[in-house]
Amino acid sequence: MIIVLDFGGQYAHLIARRIKDLGTQAAILPYHASVDEIRKHEPLGIVLSGAPAAITEKDAIRPDMKIMDFDMPILGICYGEQLMAQHYGGSLATRGAQREYGKEEMQVKGKNGIFKGLKDQETVWMSHGDAVEKLPKGFTVTGSTRKCAVAAFENSEKKRYGLQFHPEVVHTKNGSKILENFVFRICGAAKDYSLKGLDEQLSIPIQKEVGKEGVLIAVSGGVDSLVTAALLHRAVPENLYCVLIDTGLMRKGEIEETSRYFQKQGFQHFEVVNAEKRFLERLQGILDPEKKREAIGHTFIEVFEEKARELGKKANIRFLAQGTIYPDRIESAQASGAAEKIKSHHNLTLPEKMHLKVIEPLKDLYKDEVRHLGEILGLPKERVWRQPFPGPGLAIRILGEVTPDRLSIVRETDYVYREEIRKAGLDKGVWQYFTALIPVKVVGVMADKRTYEYMIALRAVTSKDGMTADFARIPMDVLERISSRIVNDVKGVNRVLYDVSQKPPSTIEYE
C-alpha cells in the first residue's frame, strides 16, 4: 500500500491512478491526516502531492511533519518536493523566478535510485512557480532543466526523493518508470491491484442498495453516462429510467444517434425531452463562461426535475444516478478543502427538494478506467472510445454569447472537422478534437467580394486522462482540407486557425 497525501492540486488522484496502473494498492488521504491515521493503512511508502498554492505564502498548508520521522520512503512531487526541502533546511527561490509550464528537457544526474534505467536526458512536464534554490545538507541533485537547477534531488540514506516535475502525467515520457522505481525498487511494494472484476464490484452494491425501487439517470451519449447506465442496466434493468434531454447544444445528429443506441440495447425505460428553446432563451445575453455554465446547469436541473416528477407518478423512483468521474470532482474543487476551483460542473448540482439519493458508481474512476469498465460490460468500442464531450455542450465552444446562428456555425464546422479526421484515420490517436467559434469578425475575400465573418479555431489534443494534454500533430495536408471545407461549406466563416497550446497552462476546452 502506498499513501498519497492530497494537498489540493489537480494531480493527487492521478498519482494514485498511476500507482494502481502499476498493479499496487494506493490510498489517498488529505494532507492534514494524522500520523495515526496514516499508520493504520500500514503503508510501505508515502507520496506528497502538488498544490495550487505556494509554499512561500504565509498560510501555506502543511502536513503533520512527524511523517518525516517515518522509517519508510517518501517522494515529494512539486509542492511536496519543496515542502520536503524546506523541512530539512533547504531554501526556495521567490515565486515566479524560475516558473516553468509544459514540457522541459531534464538532464539526469543520478541513475542509481529513482531514475534507474532512464537516459541521460528525459522529457518531463513542469507546472510550477516556486522552486528549490538551495538543497538541505545530505541531499544531492539528481536532475536539472534549463531554468531549474534542482529539478530532482534525493537522500538515499533517509529514503527521501523530490521531483519538481510531474511523473504522473503522460507527457513526462518515462514517468511511469520513475514511479515504478519508487513503488517497487525503493518501497518494495507487491502487485496486488487489478481492474478485473470491477463490474461485479460496482454492480452488486447497487443491486443491494436499490432493490426494487426506481433509479433515474440523465444520459447524454457520452462515455461516462453511458457506462453508468450500462452498469445500472446490468444491476437493475427493470427499475432503470433513462432520460435524454435535448438542450439544443449537442453535436450534429447526436440526439438521434444516442436514441437509436439505447433503444437497440433494450433499455426498457428511455425518453427524450426536447428543451432546446428553453436553454437558448436562458443563455441570451450571457458572456461570462462561468455564468453560462451556471445557466445551463440550472436549466438542466429544472427540466430534469419536471421529468422526474412526471415519471414519479408512475414509478417508485428513489435514486438518482450520475456519471460523475473523478476529474469532474477535482476540477470542481471537490477533492479537498485546499483545492483550487477550475470550473463548475452541472452534474454536481442536485436540489435537495428532489429528495433522491445519489448513486455515483464511477466517482473514483478516471476516464481510461471508465472506458475499460465499458469494455468489461461488453459495450461497443466505437461508443466506449469516443472522444469526451462536455456537459454544457457546444455552448462552451462558442466564446461569448450563444445564439442560434453561432450554434449552427460551430455545429457544422465540428461535423466537417470530425468527418475529415476520421477519413484521415487519425481519430484513434487523438484524445479530443473539436472546433470553437472565436467571436471576432475578420476581413476576408470570397468571389471577389470583401467579407466580414467569424474565425474558427481547431483544437486537437493527445491525452490519456484529460488532466494534461499536448496538441496533436495533424498533418498539414489534412489541416488544409479541413480549412478549405469549412470556409467553403459553412456560411459565416472565412478564417480557420489551429491551436498548438498545451494543458497546462491552457485547458482543453475554451471555456
**Catalytic site positions:** 78, 166, 168
Residue 342 to residues 25, 119, 327, 329, 399, Cα–Cα distance (Å) = 29, 35, 11, 10, 17
Residues 6+ apart with CB under 8 A from 73: 44, 45, 46, 159, 160, 161, 182, 186, 187
Q: Are 27 and 41 in contact (CB under 8 A)?
A: yes
In angstroms, the CA 369 to CA 465 distance is 9
Q: Where are the alpha helices (DSSP H) in 79-194?
A: 79-87, 175-180
| Whole-Å CA distances, 465 to 120, 176, 204, 264, 432 | 28, 14, 27, 29, 11
Residue with cell 478549405: 484
Separation CA 48–CA 44 (nearest Å) = 14
- Answer whether 494's CB lies under 8 Å from 447's CB: no
How far apart, in Å, do the first and last CA atoms of the chain sit?
38
Can you tell me the distance from the alpha carbon of 275 to that of 500, in angstroms, rounded to the nearest whole number?
36
Q: How far apart are CA 439 and CA 143, in angstroms?
A: 44
DSSP secondary structure, 266-281, as one string: T-SEEEEEE-HHHHHH
Distance CA 46, CA 49 (A): 10
Report the interhelical angle of 276-283 vs 289-312 (nearest 10°): 150
Dihedrals phi, psi of 486, to nearest 5 degrees: -60, -50
Give me 355's grid cell.
429528495
CA distance 214 to 192: 36
The DSSP bridge pattern shows strands 45-48 and 121-128 to be unpaired
Cα distance between residue 207 and residue 186, in whole Å:
42
- CA distance linking residue 380 with residue 458, whole number of Å: 28
Residue burial 279-295, b: 16+ Cβ < 10 Å; e: rest: bbebbeebeebeebbbb
> Using an 8 Å Cβ cutoff, are 16 and 181 in contact?
no
CA angle 27, 28, 33 (to 5 degrees): 115
The DSSP letter of residue 228 is: H
